Amino acid sequence: MKLLILTQKVDSSDAILGFMLGWITELAKRCEKVTVVCLEKGVFSSPLNVKVLSLGKETGQAKIKYLINFYKYIWQERQNYDKVFVHMNPEYVVLGGPLWKILGKKIALWYTHKNVDAKLKIAEKLVDIIFTASTKSFRLKSKKINVMGHGIDIERFVPASEPIKEKIILTVDRISPTKNQLEIIKLFAAIKERVDACQLYIVGAPAYLADEDYFNRIKEYIKDHDLSGQVKLLGAVPNKDTPAIYQQAKVFISFSATGSLDKTVLEAMACNLPVVTTNEAFKNILTVENYSLNFEDAEQKVISFLEQDNKFNYREIVVRDHSLKNLIASIIKELS
């Protein structure tokens, strides 16, 4: 199989999209040739059978140049791919789908978000197959949907080698109102009154200018409530470096309101880290000890995990249902 991949960014140092290089590497193991077209490229190394072409964001080109490059690449490389895999950007399907149909290329879209807009509706009509992580991760009705689970690199995300002694609560995600980091800090403020020597580590940074005001509110709340000694804002951390942070924590917390199967929760579980989440996508995956209907309900659950040793094997869920190698093997099978 010769595969064309379209994705937003190829950069091993990126905090949000750094994982994509692992996907590309695994796909390349099962393909004769892989061509990647991305909006932006940074630092990376790739297998010999992978070619990476950037639309030019990293060089500051005008947006019209992105579009010109897009059509140039998918046309000039047409002999180097017979299948198309679009990751999370239905607009690429909208732009390239008609040409790929004419060229007889099979089109697949990976999409994991509750948002349904006009681009996604058009893309659904053009693609041959849709991959998603869970039933909650794709909200548009379609007969083309294949629920695949997520792709977590279980060889990198592994449990800590020693028992966790420090009472560290961890959350990892981009800073955004939809991720509810401010509510997590408010919860921590209540927890620290009941649990001695606990800390909160927040990994992430705003990805969009619109989220900067929210981040400023977070920093103001920490300052106003004298929490700076216990709440650590660690900023954006490359995905390749996050396993070591998961391995330091006692419990992971996620108040994401996206409704999709958040990858960071699964990464924590792969490290056998107890999780507490309000995300509805995990309601049928985790036990009642982990799933909370509201923020207030989460307080006692987090405290319980801080004060006792982990008695659950969260990693086995990820290994069974969400490992990267199994996901890529399934995607290749469906594309074939």
pLDDT, tens digit, 9 for 90 and up, residues 118-131: 999 999 999 999 99
- In a shared domain, residues 16 and 136: yes
Instruction: For residue 111, give the nearest of 121, 101, 100, 98 by alpha carbon.
Output: 121
Helix, strand or coil for residue 95? helix
- In a shared domain, residues 304 and 327: no
Across the chain, where does the E strand assignment appear?
2-10, 33-41, 50-54, 83-87, 106-110, 129-132, 145-147, 167-172, 198-203, 231-235, 251-254, 275-277
Domain that holds residue 90: 2-151+323-335
320-323-326-332 Cα dihedral, nearest 10 degrees: 140
pLDDT at 290: 86
Q: What is the pLDDT of residues 214-253, one digit of tens each?
A: 999 999 999 999 999 999 999 999 999 999 999 999 999 9
Q: How confident is the model at residue 163 (pLDDT cuts 50, 70, 90)?
A: confident
Q: How confident is the model at residue 68 (pLDDT cuts 50, 70, 90)?
A: very high
Q: Is residue 157 part of a domain?
A: no
Helix, strand or coil for residue 34? strand
pLDDT at 111 over 80: yes
pLDDT at 258: 78
d(CA 251, CA 229): 19
- In a shared domain, residues 292 and 313: yes
- In a shared domain, residues 290 and 244: yes
- Say what the pTM is: 0.93
